[in-house]
């Protein structure tokens, strides 16, 4: 499972050549994309589809082609990853050209033992619900793609219901998560292994802190894209998918938790 995303060989991009502002005339990224024929959630190919005229950097009907990060460039008809070269051109495994929007929900509780807060280095320990991804086996924050026309908040609740509360409703996820949550991050997922020069992951991460009495009643069960689910202690020892450990660290700082 660990090699799932490594089956396509990318052109190596030395760190100092990552930014587009660094001239690299010989740059020849590998061209790769899956065949998305018949996938209603994916864009058509950019070449050979004269009727496909995406409105870059805009809300394009129900599809949000705006970036949380910045206004992105479009060169020769292809949107350009604002974070720089990736060694792969076209869409790779991502269905949308340009930003592919996701939403991640950190459902957290303060760790307790015999009714008292558990402390490390004078800071309270936070726990959060983590899922194990089916595709690569790595642990991650529950989350997924925002469907066309769906709001980020709705996607966050739907994905939490699907991945961490298998068989339960979005209404149950909404109940579990409580209020509106607090935003932790909004922008590109720089280390998502699917990113290419022309398609990249972006996300909005929110944290929902639930009270111990409610947390104890949450029936966690992995489903859909997840094969495992558990409460995890927040700490620097975590190993997680893409930039998710950084999102957890940001959450710890925001809430004053141990990391
Ligand atoms: C990551 O990919 C996002 O942070 C989000 O967790 C995830 C969305 O993709 P899937 O889980 O649907 O594969 O970049
Ligand atoms: Mg999912
Ligand atoms: Mg997911």
* pLDDT per residue as tens digits for the range 160-197: 999 999 978 999 899 889 889 999 999 999 999 999 99
Beta strands per DSSP E along the chain: 30-33, 59-60, 63-64, 74-75, 78-79, 88-92, 98-110, 112-113, 116-117, 119-120, 123-124, 126-133, 139-140, 143-145, 182-188, 199-209, 226-233
Instruction: Tell me 202's DSSP state.
Output: E
User: What residues pair up with 119 in beta bridges, in sequence order?
Assistant: 124
Looking at the chain, the whole-number percentage of residues with pLDDT higher than 90 is: 89
Cβ neighbours for 102, distance < 8 A, ≥ 6 positions apart: 143, 144, 145, 146, 155, 189, 201, 202, 203, 204
User: Token digits for 134?
Assistant: 């089916």
Which pLDDT belongs to residue 2? 45
Residue 159 in this model has a pLDDT that exceeds 90: yes
Calculate mean pLDDT across residues 63-82.
Answer: 97
Q: How far is CA 111 from CA 175, 179, 199, 246, in A?
A: 20, 20, 39, 20
Q: Quick: pLDDT tens for 76-125.
A: 999 999 999 999 999 999 999 999 999 999 999 999 999 899 999 999 99
In this prediction, does ipTM exceed 0.85? yes
Task: Give 70 Cα–ligand 1 centroid separation in angstroms.
Answer: 20
Three-state SS at 258? coil
Q: Rounded to whole angstroms, how far apart are CA atoms 183 and 45?
A: 34
The residues lining ligand 1, judged by C-beta closer than 6 Å to any ligand atom, are 102, 104, 140-141, 143-145, 189, 192, 201, 203, 225, 242
Which pLDDT belongs to residue 93? 96
User: What residues pair up with 79 in beta bridges, in sequence order?
Assistant: 74
Cβ atoms of residues 118 and 111 within 8 Å: yes
Ligand located closest to 248 CA: 1
Residue 5 in this model has a pLDDT that exceeds 80: no
Which pLDDT belongs to residue 155? 96
Ligand 1 atom 8: residue of nearest CA: 144
Angle at 155 between CA 153 and CA 161, to 5 degrees: 105
Q: Give the number of the atom of ligand 1 that is nearest the alpha carbon of residue 247.
A: 4
Q: Quick: pLDDT tens for 33-54.
A: 999 999 999 999 999 888 999 9
Which pLDDT belongs to residue 1? 44
Residue 212 in this model has a pLDDT that exceeds 90: no
Q: Give the number of the atom of ligand 1 that is nearest the alpha carbon of residue 201.
A: 14
Domains of the chain: 101-255 (3.90.79.10)
Which pLDDT belongs to residue 7? 77
Residue 252 in this model has a pLDDT that exceeds 90: yes
Confidence band of 217 (pLDDT split at 50, 70, 90)? confident
Q: Give the number of the atom of ligand 1 that is nearest the alpha carbon of residue 145.
A: 12
Which pLDDT belongs to residue 6? 62
Residue 62 in this model has a pLDDT that exceeds 70: yes
Ligand 1 atom 9: residue of nearest CA: 144
Q: How far is CA 249 from CA 95, 164, 192, 214, 259, in A?
A: 29, 21, 17, 24, 6
- The full length of the chain comes to 259
């Amino acid at each position: 499972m660990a090699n799932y995303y490594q089956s396509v060989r990318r052109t190596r991009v030395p760190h100092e050549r990552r930014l587009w502002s660094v001239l690299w005339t010989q740059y020849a990224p590998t061209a790769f994309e899956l065949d998305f024929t018949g996938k209603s959630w994916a864009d058509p190919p950019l070449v050979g589809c004269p009727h496909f005229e995406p409105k870059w950097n805009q809300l394009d009907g129900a599809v949000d082609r705006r970036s949380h990060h910045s206004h992105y460039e479009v060169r020769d008809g292809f949107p350009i990853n604002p974070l720089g070269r990736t060694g792969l051109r076209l869409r790779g495994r991502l269905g949308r050209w340009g930003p592919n929007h996701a939403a991640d929900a950190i459902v957290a509780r303060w760790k307790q033992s015999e009714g008292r807060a558990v402390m490390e280095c004078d800071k309270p320990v936070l726990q959060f619900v983590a899922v194990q991804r089916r595709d690569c086996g790595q642990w991650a924050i529950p989350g997924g793609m925002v469907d066309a026309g769906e709001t980020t908040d709705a996607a966050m609740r739907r994905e939490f219901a699907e991945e961490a509360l298998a068989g339960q409703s979005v209404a149950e996820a909404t109940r579990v998560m409580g209020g509106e949550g607090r935003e932790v991050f909004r922008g590109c997922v720089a280390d998502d292994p699917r990113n290419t020069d022309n398609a990249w992951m972006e996300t909005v991460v929110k944290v929902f802190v639930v009270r111990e009495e409610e947390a104890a009643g949450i029936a966690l069960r992995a489903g859909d894209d997840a094969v495992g689910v558990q409460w995890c202690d927040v700490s620097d020892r975590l190993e997680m998918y893409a930039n998710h450990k950084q999102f957890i660290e940001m959450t710890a700082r925001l809430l004053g938790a141990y990391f």
